[in-house]
A and B are shown apart, each in its own frame.
Chain A
């Protein structure tokens, strides 16, 4: 039995996750992770084949910071607005201070002429830990079901 308070706090973490990305608050989004974190986006094809190639792999929070700095200052990408719809989270279990959490997501993307489409959908397979500053992601694996990426992949999913 997972404590209601913990469950609600994890719900809030996921809500903040989607809201920060959708508002392009990447620097705030970064603070949802602990320093010793892993963030990766994985094509479902590779996950099913047991192959290690990702679409994005940050093995610690510094690599996430680098990705954001690069997006802000050293990359050009499609001008877009995202909207995440994240399902109710499923807390699969607790081991020590760590919760195994999954949720499905759908992410729509609109361009700057107002045309949009379903850009990505899949599953978050995550590890959440409680810190003095509330729950944070220690690991987040985005498994993408539509792994043939439309256009390009710039901002995180």
Chain B
């Protein structure tokens, strides 16, 4: 004798979301839609005529770039390795510097609010500087070469890494930390015993990810004189030596794919 008979006559049923939430979501939806429509109409005005010449230009470009000059492989292999070395050094230094910064920028570890806010702000500032700008500044300071490139990469990847890792730290299970504290562990012991084991897999994974980004970024940095394969690519483009440039591009492509594949495999095994 349940009230099953009532189910056919619609009674007052509560909505899944409260009216206020519904209104908010609707407003946000239309605002986002408005932004899309506006950007579409705006950029189409600018783009008009852009396409017409592209197809015929395409043939010219391809004709110039192909076939790639395979003879230069031996000559460009050195700078390519340099680029990888740059990325390795920069990633390693950044990974080490990240540890204290990420801890200070994690709200659950750094309970002293002002320190946390200062570190967070510092990291945010770090991330607003584009890597290319960093490279231009350091090339200006230290001259053309690998060193300014490495410095630019360190600062660039520090910004990303510290932010991502501090967020990983904030999501750990705090209970083991409490247990370590309760058994008399000091701050360092609590971090080492209860926190590090929890974030180590993500830490390694993120460092590998940043290493991938650094390989690509170091190519771009070479364009402004910060050493490595990018520098050579820029020279060859400057000499209108397109078959050589094409070979460099293919080499970069192969190396980046290979490194991404290896690092993806390692990260899969870790997590």
A and B associate in one complex: no
